[in-house]
Amino acid sequence: MKTCSICRGGLRPYAERKRENKSYLYYECERCGSLLIDPNVINAMDEGNTLMEYSDEYWNMELEAARSRCFGPCLARLAEVIYYAKIPIDNFVDIGGGTGWLLDALSLYLPEHLSHFYSVEKYPPEERYRTQNSNYRIGSYAQLNLNFQAGICVEVVEHLTPYMLVEMFQDIAAVSSDGAIYLINTGMPEYVKNQDANYLDPFVRGHIVSYSLEGMKWLLEPLGFTVHPIRGKTWAFCIEFHSQWTNEDITSRIWTALPCNLKLLEDQKMGSVLQILGRESVNAYLL
C-alpha cells in the first residue's frame, strides 16, 4: 500500500499525466490533503534520479516566466511579507532565486536599499541567464555568513520532494533570526483543484507536489517554523521561525507594520510605489 511521503497517511488516486510513452500518477493524501506524484517517483528522485530533462523547451518557458515573476508578482510578495514582519529586517532573501533577476528589478525600484536584499540559488542556470548583482549567491545558506529576518520563496517548493524541502528549510532555519518570516508562493491543493488543473505537470513545469498547509506543518513545525495561512490566498502562505505570534490572522499585521521595515519599501526616486503595492496586494484578496 502506498503512503504519503509527507505524513505517511493513506493515498487515493487523484490524476494521471501522460505524454508520448510516459505516464505518471498523482495521489491525494487522506490525512494531510496534499497532492503528490507516485511516492516511488519521489523515492527515486531522493536517490538522485531526475524526473525530467531541462531541455530548450523548458528553458524557453522558464526564462520568460522568471522575468515575468521577478518584475511582477515577486515584487508584490516581497512588499507583502515586509508588512507581515514583526521584527526589524536587516537582510531579506529570495530563496531559490533562480536567475536572481529579482535583484535587477529591485535595482530599479529600491536602489537605495538594494544592499539589504539577497538571492540564493543552489542549482543556478548558466551564467548568461543570471543577474550580475553581487548579492546573488550560489551554494548553501551556511556559506553566506548572514542572518535573515524575512524572505520569499516563489514557485520553488512544488519542484521539491518532502526530503529536499526539509533539507532546504533546515539550512534556512540555521540562518534565521527568531521571528524571521518567509512567504511561500506555491499552488496549494485548493488552488490546483479550483483554479489550475494543469498545475501538477511532471513533463515541462516539473511540478511534483502541491503541499497543503497541514502537510507543511508536518514537515516544518519540527524545524521551529509556525505555518500561517494568508486569508484569501490559496497559492501563498507564510512560515515564521520561533514565532511568538500564533493563531492570528497575519493580514491584520499590515496596519501595525514596523516603520523601519516600511522604509525599505520607499525610495527617493521611485517613491512609495512598493509600499502601496504590498498593502493593496493584501487587501485585494480579503474577501
The span from the CA of 260 to the CA of 254, in Å, is 13
3-state percent breakdown (helix, strand, coil) of the chain, nearest 5: 40, 25, 35
The span from the CA of 48 to the CA of 62, in Å, is 22
pTM of the model: 0.96
Domain boundaries, the chain: 63-191+210-283
pLDDT for residue 254: 97
Q: What is the pLDDT along the chain (287 residues), one digit of tens a residue?
A: 899 999 999 999 999 999 888 999 999 999 999 999 999 999 999 999 988 766 666 667 778 888 999 999 999 999 999 999 999 999 999 999 999 999 999 999 999 999 999 999 988 888 888 999 999 999 988 888 899 999 999 999 999 999 999 999 999 999 999 999 999 999 999 999 999 999 999 998 899 999 999 999 999 999 999 999 999 999 999 999 999 988 889 999 999 999 999 999 999 989 999 999 999 999 999 86
The span from the CA of 277 to the CA of 155, in Å, is 20
The string of DSSP letters for 28-53 reads: EETTT--EEE-HHHHHHHHTT--SS-
pLDDT for residue 51: 83
User: CA distances (Å), 6 to each of 24, 43, 265, in order?
Assistant: 18, 12, 37
H helical segments located in the chain: 39-46, 56-70, 73-84, 101-109, 162-174, 189-194, 213-220, 259-262, 273-283
Q: What fold does the segment set 63-191+210-283 form as a domain?
A: Rossmann fold (3.40.50)
pLDDT for residue 56: 61
